[in-house]
Amino acid sequence: MKKSKAFLFLSALIFISACAPAIKGTEKLQMKNGDRLTGEVVRMEEDLLVLKTDVSEDRLNIEWNRIDCLESERDLTIVLKGYETLIGRISCPSPGKIQVISARLGPTREITPDDILSINPGTYRGFLNAGGSLARGNSDSTAANLSTRFEARTRRHRLTVEGRFNYGEAEGSTNTRNSLGSIKYDFFQTEKRYNYAQVLTERDTFANLNLRLTQGLGIGYQFYDSRKRRLFTEVGISYYNEDRKVGDDTKSAAGRWAVGFEYETTPKWIQVYHRQEGYYTPESSSVYLRAVQGFRVPVKDRFGMYFESDYRFNSKPQDGKDRSDILLIIGISYEYAYW
């Protein structure tokens, strides 16, 4: 119970911190073709600068190689291609040159836009989802599904928190009740390779599962990491513990793998995703796999509709239990993000 309370407190603290308003500012962009743009620089990564303006709700995506210079009246975090980090206001001492002015160190040497790897690389992104169904007449059933996923990222660090709850009734009797909570920390040793530490907890009343707890370490590789396209894979080892309501419990080491994929077809249109996580326990020669896949369609502002399938597989379930469960969900999604 203490661990559960600590986990919920940490999740709430992260959520509140993420939703805190950022300090806004006004930056001036001098383009190579002579145009000038004014707005708030959200971030620049992978040679793409995101600019928020007052004239449009949509954020502008500008190719970094089209920008000749950038000026700011507030401190920005600038990461150079040699992974040196500078914090300060940006000025344009001459065409094609940039200078960072730190309140503590003063002006730095002059650099060019080509020397900059990223600006304000820290980001967060999360979703709050609510779905369900209601049937009355020849059939009498009710289902409710709540889930959230939050991710905060800097150049070196990434924190991911996830929570799920599913409940269902049919003909006045409860037939579905399960929940999940996970937290994972990634430390990037290089731009794409990272080490991770992960904790996962699950409960499922109708699968004879009082608590499944896994804690593990491993390595991962981030092939792509942008708003439009994301792909990663992970392998590692875990301590695998199943506390069953009836029957013998399981406590042993297990191998873990995970794969995640997200793709946004066009800005503010369909977002397709797939995430799976699996465990192999040598002691019992058993495999446990969970996979979530679906698509999300933005409707207005940060709200959208989503369709999702939640699949779980256990190669050696308890007597009388099925090896697999699948849950189809349709609902409303709210996105909160800093990109």
Note the pLDDT tens digit of each residue in 295-336: 999 888 789 999 998 898 988 877 677 888 888 889 999 988
d(CA 339, CA 177): 35
| Whole-number pLDDT of residue 31 | 93
CA torsion angle for 133, 137, 141, 143 (degrees, to 10)? Answer: 10
Q: Which is more confident, 266 or 219?
A: 219
d(CA 272, CA 304): 13
Count CB atoms within 10 A of the CB of residue 92: 16
Up-side HSE of residue 151: CA atoms within 13 Å toward CB? 12
pLDDT band at residue 339 under the 50/70/90 scheme: low
Mean pLDDT in residue range 44-64: 85
Six-digit token string for 236: 């590692």
| Whole-number pLDDT of residue 199 | 95
Average pLDDT, whole number, for the chain? 84
CA torsion angle for 225, 228, 146, 14 (degrees, to 10)? Answer: 40
Tell which CATH architecture fits domain 123-338: Beta Barrel (2.40)
**What secondary structure letter does DSSP report for 10?**
H
**Strand 209-225 versus strand 229-244 pairing type:** antiparallel
Amino acid identity at 311: Y
Mean pLDDT in residue range 140-164: 87
Domain with CATH 2.40.160.40 in the chain: 123-338
Q: Which is more confident, 123 or 191?
A: 191
pLDDT band at residue 5 under the 50/70/90 scheme: very low
Q: Which is more confident, 140 or 55?
A: 55
Amino acid identity at 265: T
Is the Cβ–Cβ distance between 64 and 117 less than 8 Å?
Answer: no
pTM over 0.75: no
pLDDT, tens only, 68-120:
999 998 888 888 887 787 888 999 998 889 999 987 778 888 999 999 988 88
